[in-house]
Amino acid sequence: MKREMVAEVIARHGLSQRRACGLIEITRRSYRRAPKPDRNRELRVRLRSVAEERRRWGCPMLYQVLRREGWQVNHKRIEACIGRKDCRCAGDVGANDSVICAWCDRRRLRQTKRGRSISFTTAY
């Protein structure tokens, strides 16, 4: 996102790369370096399809199903894919703000019983 912003500032206003990167607050090295390919793309697609079939399943069950299908993934990788923007309850794949689903809600309740402080700021 910031790369496109820097490129637009350079093209539209004729600024140097150094000044444009400073304006957008991105390092020149990050601007020049190409992003790595997403290695979790197929995993996210499969997670979404399984989660839509079984809407009440949480991360542990999804992990077991994927392991039975032959996916060689760690449970933490599954949790990372589900916990971010790829939760079943999220609208689009690229949505940053998601509604709390049953799994997320249970997870927060478990954490509060342990006495941890949790931020309950979510977008509905």
- pLDDT score, position 34: 85
Ramachandran angles phi, psi of 81, nearest 5°? -70, -40
- pLDDT score, position 29: 93
Sketch the domain layout of the chain as residue ranges. Answer: 2-32, 41-113
Q: 14-50 pLDDT, tens per residue? A: 999 999 999 999 999 999 998 888 888 899 899 888 8
Quickly list DSSP for 54-104. Answer: STT--HHHHHHHHHHHT----HHHHHHHHHTTT-TT-SSTT-SS----HHH
Q: In the predicted model, is pLDDT for residue 90 greater than 50? A: no
Q: 92-115 pLDDT, tens per residue? A: 434 443 334 544 544 444 445 555
> What average pLDDT is seen over the chain?
75
Query: What does the alpha-carbon distance between residue 60 and residue 49 come to, in Å, rounded to a whole number?
Result: 16
